[in-house]
Chains A and B, each alone.
Chain A
């Protein structure tokens, strides 16, 4: 299915990351890597620390221990703005769109980082600022076509149904042309048809743009279909790491999912 892609060297290396909120331990010494052009799934029961892991990767949370290296640059604390500049984009488990803005404006924010004209030029809206706006609009329209959301361009996102909001959020992330895309349960709460659409989009992004993807997902069949390798977290620890088949047959994973007492 994804045979045409060439999986490369590690683009993201997580090394011994630990994170706690007061007494609540969210992550404990987690290490794994993500390779170029790879789809890497993170799975685990509720509260296992999956979302926290994504938050560490793009700097929303700062781990107490361990490091994250993106494109070979090792750091512990990065802020989300820097992470975006380095080429990391993401979606959220609970949709984080800008509710008062239209679909088009939401997606355009994904390109803010690439827009160079200053506010004075924009106030005049002539020459450079106008040209830039049109150039980026064209890029955004390509993303809109790709995700098949032309018909809702001008709709305020607050008025859209859940499934479409998820798609707009993906569009905003893609508009940034990221090298690494973090997707936190992009299919949660969707019906079968919507899930199939979303799966197709994820595969196409990976295939056509070569984007490396970290995907959190609860639906096992989706994970098995999409991912190249899977990390399994349980109570903040990594309990398994491997291909979907290896992970599926792993004793510890089966226990974690069946709720065997620790």
Chain B
């Protein structure tokens, strides 16, 4: 089937403003959703396949972290990619989400888990607003440095105030059992489906926001703040809302990180290094792109796995043992090179490359 929009005339603005105005994109999305929500779990339940593929590893070690990082990257992309406010505090807001959800579950009897996640996002949003206040005065590099304050302060506070981790040593918390609507989410495939559902809904919400007036306000502030004010976009509200919503996304991602991925987390697990990793995801995936958040997260989660597999197969076929640490160092070097490549050559990342490919395909085979 050709990727064309020829013959698909839109007769109403409603048709033109759909989520996916091109029919092939709609079909592609429907297939993707069917595969990830139905196809993958069914495959995992098929004994013949389960014998060949270690599904538990793929769910717990690849797909779940991929989805959670996509959500965090989406959060950062709202703030940095859409609203143009550089932040190095993503990991801090994840930490807030993780610890807030833990405390809601711990201290409020009968608290539904999803409510804890939402409230964890709200707490992260409030803290995001506080650390967003400097953005009303400063931008760019200086703002990034100011968000570092959030990063250090949160990790410090979580270690310092024992109450937040129920007085465990060095702030380690063990997330409560995942139960949703009275239903125990206790296997990798169930956790995968829960995370997938939450991430899908939040990605849709993000897509809707960026195609509405709030999204245009963010991009206007990003592209030219003086002109944004002149057309009547309220600067304070627009920027702080970007911080709040971005932190909400990171907060929920942090709660899922603790409850559906690691199970046990400590403040030191949310260091600056994690914030940088999320920043690299949006640089590689695409700054200012919903799709890019997923591509970047996928890339960063999958690359080390791919490198390990390649190394293993090289070792096997040549019968040699690569020095320990070589592969992980090579992976780091590759990351560095890719980040520089994308910053210099294609600042809009993988999402832009995908878009260019689609534009080419639309013209193919007649490139005029």
- A79 at interface, CB cutoff 8 A: yes
- A113 at interface, CB cutoff 8 A: yes
The complex places the Cα of A130 from the Cα of B16 at a distance, in Å, of: 12
Q: Are A109 and B205 in contact (CB under 8 A)?
A: no
Closest to A126 in B: B208
Known: A96-B227, A109-B217, A125-B208. A134 touches B232 (CB 8 A): no
Q: Are B223 and A119 in contact (CB under 8 A)?
A: no
Q: Are A122 and B232 in contact (CB under 8 A)?
A: no
Q: Are B216 and A81 in contact (CB under 8 A)?
A: no
- A235 at interface, CB cutoff 8 A: no
Q: Are A100 and B231 in contact (CB under 8 A)?
A: no
- A192 at interface, CB cutoff 8 A: no
Q: Are B219 and A133 in contact (CB under 8 A)?
A: no
Q: Given the complex, which residues of A lie within 8 Å of B211, measured CB to CB? A: 125
Most buried by B among A89, A97, A119, A172: A119
List, sorted by A's number, 24 A–B pairs whose CB atoms are closer than 8 Å: A80-B232, A81-B235, A84-B229, A84-B231, A98-B222, A98-B228, A99-B224, A100-B222, A100-B223, A101-B219, A108-B216, A109-B216, A111-B213, A112-B232, A117-B213, A119-B241, A122-B209, A122-B212, A122-B213, A122-B215, A125-B211, A129-B212, A133-B213, A137-B13
The complex places the Cα of A83 from the Cα of B226 at a distance, in Å, of: 13
Interface size on A, residues (CB 8 A): 41
Q: Mark A93-126, 1 if CB is under 8 A from B, else 0.
A: 0001111110001001111110101010011110
Please classify the interface of chain B as helix (H, G, I), strand (E, B), loop, or mixed, using the class held by over half of its residues.
Answer: helix
The complex places the Cα of A97 from the Cα of B208 at a distance, in Å, of: 23
The complex places the Cα of A150 from the Cα of B205 at a distance, in Å, of: 29
- B14 at interface, CB cutoff 8 A: yes
Q: Given the complex, which residues of B lie within 8 Å of A92, measured CB to CB? A: 227
Known: A99-B224, A101-B216. A112 touches B231 (CB 8 A): yes
Q: Are B17 and A96 in contact (CB under 8 A)?
A: no
Chain A: minimal CB distance from B240 (Å): 11
Q: Are B241 and A99 in contact (CB under 8 A)?
A: no
Q: Are A134 and B213 in contact (CB under 8 A)?
A: no
Total contacts A-B at CB 8 Å: 108
Query: Besides the contacts A109-B217, A112-B216, A112-B220, what 11 more A-B pairs have beta carbons closer than 8 Å?
Result: A58-B230, A85-B232, A98-B227, A109-B233, A112-B232, A119-B214, A125-B208, A125-B211, A137-B17, A138-B13, A173-B231
- B288 at interface, CB cutoff 8 A: yes
Most buried by A among B205, B229, B234, B288: B229
Q: Are B245 and A119 in contact (CB under 8 A)?
A: yes
Most buried by B among A98, A111, A113, A137: A98
Q: Given the complex, which residues of B lie within 8 Å of A166, measured CB to CB? A: none
- A90 at interface, CB cutoff 8 A: yes
Q: Given the complex, which residues of A lie within 8 Å of B245, measured CB to CB? A: 119
Q: Are A134 and B208 in contact (CB under 8 A)?
A: no
Chain B: minimal CB distance from A84 (Å): 3
Q: Are B230 and A90 in contact (CB under 8 A)?
A: yes
Q: Are A98 and B224 in contact (CB under 8 A)?
A: yes
Closest to A115 in B: B213
Chain A: minimal CB distance from B236 (Å): 9
Q: Are A99 and B223 in contact (CB under 8 A)?
A: yes
The 5 tightest CB contacts between A and B, nearest first, are A84-B232, A122-B212, A98-B223, A96-B227, A125-B208
